[in-house]
Amino acid sequence: MARIEFIGVPSQSGRLPVAHTRLGVDGDGEAFPERVILFESPRSLTPPDQDGDPDLKLIVVSGLDLDCVMDGALLAAGSAILAVTRAGASRNRVFADIVESGETGSGADISFERRGGANAGVLTLSDSCSRGERDDLSGPALVEALVEAGLQPVRYAVSPDDRAVITGRLVSWCDDGSCDLVLTTGGTGLSPTDCTPEATMDTIERQVPGIPELMRQKSAETVQTSWLSRSVAGIRGQTLIVNLPGSRKGAVECFGHIRHLLGHALEIAGGRVSRCGG
């Protein structure tokens, strides 16, 4: 679980550490628009020595995988709600606007909020993309498709074709409660380096075989080699994971084939509906 490790408030002599602070509230107790800095530290340490925004409160967090948190994601920190903005972000550091005022403090848990649609993550698996040798086209296209489907993308990352790395990220995104749905793109073919299905099987607790069966069937109506896809789908905890092809066209089309199933699937996996059928 992600948590707050340190809070620093601006003062004339630099940021002062405090145990608790109220966010989005001025000195008279009135609500006002406030922006803070979120900085991720792998250890429970003090913040970076230098910072370009000394007038903003600094909140040091751990366990959030901050570099994968998308713009607009809502985070609950104590009784306050923060909206992440990646404008001006750098490694391990983003801004967040207070959208609901409240109190928070060191040691408080941080969780992902849901407003309306379910939260989703997109994980692109590609050695060349992870090395920066080519741009990821399928991941951003899936993010757009999720928004069009009424889902809220909250996580996005590019990882190499490494079974242990993929498994670790999938487990993290499921177990930290950030994602109700995780779409992977890439690594589902017959290449010796393709290992996304194996990493997914290492992660999930129950399979949902009908989802990849439907994608293969529908895709094979126009591309016969779709039958060679090794995509799998399954559930870990309350999160549904679905493997999609690595090409932009194939990923978006396969998502379109299963889009009509996802609302009910996520309700069942999340425990909001107790049974399928009529």
Q: What is the largest CA-CA distance in the chain?
A: 68
Residue 144: domain span? 119-269
CA separation for the pair 170, 239 (Å, rounded): 10
- Same domain for 141 and 260, yes or no, is yes
Residue given tokens 């979120």 in the structure block: 38
CA separation for the pair 105, 178 (Å, rounded): 21
Give the helix/strand (H/E) hosting 99. Answer: strand 93-100
User: pLDDT tens, position by position, for the chain (278 residues)?
Assistant: 899 999 988 877 777 888 888 999 887 778 889 999 999 986 545 455 445 577 899 999 999 999 999 999 999 999 999 999 998 888 889 999 999 999 999 999 999 999 888 999 999 999 999 999 999 999 999 999 999 999 999 999 999 999 999 999 999 999 999 999 999 999 999 999 999 999 999 999 999 999 999 999 999 999 999 999 999 999 999 999 999 999 999 999 999 999 999 999 999 999 876 665 55
CA atoms within 13 A on the CB side of 180: 23
- Same domain for 242 and 173, yes or no, is yes
**56 is a domain residue:** yes
Q: What are residue 74's DSSP bridge partners?
A: 83
- Same domain for 34 and 166, yes or no, is no
Q: How far is CA 139 from CA 11, 20, 86, 127, 230, in A?
A: 42, 38, 17, 14, 19
Count of helices and strands (H, E) across the chain: 6, 16
- Same domain for 135 and 104, yes or no, is no
Our measurement of the distance from residue 214's CA atom to the centroid of its chain's CA atoms, rounded to an integer in Å, reads 26
pLDDT reported for residue 50: 47
- Same domain for 17 and 75, yes or no, is yes
Tell me which of 112, 142, 167 is where a domain ends: 112
CA atoms within 13 A on the CB side of 165: 14
- Same domain for 125 and 261, yes or no, is yes
User: Domain count of the chain?
Assistant: 2
The encoded tokens of residue 214 equal 């439907």
Angle subtended at Cα 134 by Cα 137 and Cα 228, rounded to the nearest 5 degrees: 60
CB atoms within 10 A of CB 247: 15
